[in-house]
Amino acid sequence: MLVPLAVDAGRRLLLLPDGGTTLRASGHGGDAAAWEALLADHARLQVEVAARADEMVALGVPDLRPERLPDLAAGLLADDDALLTGTPDGLDPALRERLRGSTGAYAELCRALVAGPVPASVQHDDLHDGNVFVTGDGFRFFDWGDASVAHRFLTLLVPLRGAAAALAVPPGSPVLLRLRDAYLEPWREFAGTAVLRELAGLALRVAPLARALTWHRILRAVHPDDRARWQASVPGWVAESAAPGPLDGAVPA
pLDDT of residue 244: 95
CA distance 127 to 46: 13
The tens digit of pLDDT for each residue in 217-242 reads 999 988 888 888 999 999 999 999 99
Cα atoms in the Cβ-side hemisphere of radius 13 Å centred on 103: 15
CA distance 50 to 146: 18
Query: Nearest CA to 19 among 4, 29, 33, 37?
Result: 4
Q: How confident is the model at residue 5 (pLDDT cuts 50, 70, 90)?
A: very low
The tens digit of pLDDT for each residue in 94-148 reads 999 999 999 999 999 999 999 999 999 999 999 999 999 998 778 999 999 999 9
Residues 49 and 122 sit within 8 Å (Cβ to Cβ): yes
CA distance 206 to 78: 18
pLDDT of residue 61: 97
Query: Nearest CA to 203 among 185, 236, 180?
Result: 180
Q: What percent of the chain has pLDDT over 70?
A: 92
Could you tell me which CATH number the domain at 32-240 has?
A: 3.90.1200
The tens digit of pLDDT for each residue in 127-138 reads 999 999 998 778
pLDDT of residue 214: 98
- Is residue 4 predicted with pLDDT exceeding 80? no
